[in-house]
Amino acid sequence: MSQLVKIGTRGSKLALWQAYHVEGLLQKAGLSTEIVIIDTKGDQILDVSIAKIGSKGVFTQELEDQLLDGRIDIAVHSAKDLQSNLPEGFEIIAFTEREKENDVLVSHDTSISLKNNIVLGTSSTRRVSTLKHFYPHVKTVDVRGNLQTRIRKMEEGLCDGLLLAYAGAHRMEYDHMIVEELDLNEFTPAVGQGSVAVEAAKKLDLELKIKITSACNNLETSLRLRAERAYLRVLEGGCSIPVFALANLTGDQLSLKGGIVSLDGKERISILVEGNADQPEKLGQELAAKVFAAGGKVILDQIKLTLNK
């Protein structure tokens, strides 16, 4: 009888897609599984922006509580929702193969474009600030909730379209509503966008941990996300800070492009660094130092001051 792995997840359709995806990888490796649905603070409070709730642990706290007391063995998250510094006693043991990283414009109206005077729904400060920088004529409205709720709000007339991650739209089979895939140079994604992260308590049985990592971890994605997350860690960026980074692997070389944009969109810093793939964290730290030196520290301090008011 193979060991049972209890998989903790949020209850939205997209979170469940991620959990079933990880479950499939584990079952393929011969492990038995059980999915445990857990409600988080981020799921319960839908009438307040993430920035105001406090971005750290908003979608993870309740899952981590159950990891710690052993009610679940692993927690499955969208990698972009996972804070840069995990609380003491936790670790990421796998990143699944990454989906296309782009942001997309989603609408029933195929004629809309960022060139038009339109209203777009998004709850991401990164996307709002990026629009203010490149497309200041586009208005935004805060839209929270799962993907189905956001689309319903759009259909009710709240906005003309939504800005979403390609990965989420694709996994929920909304490809027919993707009007445009946005340029990665303008809309450089959130750290980790497109990958699913598997989190565990450090005290999880070592043999089981190795089996789970072996079944779920994609090496290329892991190297890329370790660089991106190291950058985010220096900036202490939660979901509410408009920072961005995207790493790419070519042979044994990693390139990492990332930066920060001010909340009003007026200032945007984007820098590219390159280095050996065997030191992804070092590359992330190098990018952070260069972004800070180019004025990113001043922008970050101003953002934190504004958000804490």
Q: Where are the domains of the chain?
A: 4-97+196-217, 103-181, 233-307
User: What six digits make up the tokens of 126?
Assistant: 């990164």
Find, among 128, 129, 95, the residue nearest to 25 by Cα.
Answer: 95
User: What pLDDT is recorded for position 145?
Assistant: 86
Whole-Å CA distances, 149 to 60, 125, 170: 20, 19, 16
pLDDT recorded at residue 252: 95
Topology (CATH level 3) of domain 233-307: Double Stranded RNA Binding Domain (3.30.160)
Parallel/antiparallel/unpaired status of strands 161-165 and 119-121: parallel
- For residue 266, what is the DSSP state? S
Q: pLDDT value at position 254?
A: 98
Spell out, as residue ranges, where the chain has pLDDT lower than 50.
1, 42, 45-56
Query: Residue 120: beta bridge partners?
Result: 140, 161
- Domain 103-181: CATH superfamily is Periplasmic binding protein-like II (3.40.190.10)
Span 4-97+196-217: which CATH code?
A: 3.40.190.10
Residues 275-306: pLDDT tens digits?
A: 999 999 999 999 999 999 999 999 999 999 98
- Residues 73/138, Cβ–Cβ less than 8 Å: no
Q: What is the pLDDT of residue 58?
A: 55
> Contact, 181 vs 54, CB < 8 A?
no
Reply yes or no on whether 126 is catalytic.
yes
Give the distance from CA 254 to its chain's centroid: 20
- In whole angstroms, what is the distance from residue 49 CA to residue 37 CA? 23
Has 233 been annotated as catalytic?
no
With residues binned 3-state (H G I as helix, E B as strand, rest as coil), the percentages for the chain, rounded to 5, are: 40, 25, 40
Single pTM value for the model: 0.91
> Of these residues, 10, 73, 98, 126, which one is catalytic?
126
Contacts of 210 (CB under 8 A, 6+ apart): none
pLDDT for position 83: 85
Q: How far apart are CA 228 and CA 207, in angstroms?
A: 28
> Which residue from 115, 120, 88 is spatially nearest to 105, judged by alpha carbons?
120
Q: Which of 10, 98, 132, 144 is catalytic?
A: 144
C-beta separation of 123 from 50 below 8 A: yes
80 is catalytic: yes
Same fold, 4-97+196-217 and 103-181: yes
Residue 6, strand partner residues: 34
Establish whether 127 is a catalytic residue.
yes
Catalytic residue among 80, 229, 233, 257: 80
* Contact present, 82 and 199 (Cβ < 8 Å): yes
Cβ 258 vs Cβ 246: under 8 Å: yes
The per-residue pLDDT for 240 is 80
Answer yes or no: 144 catalytic: yes
Number of H helices, E strands in the chain: 11, 13
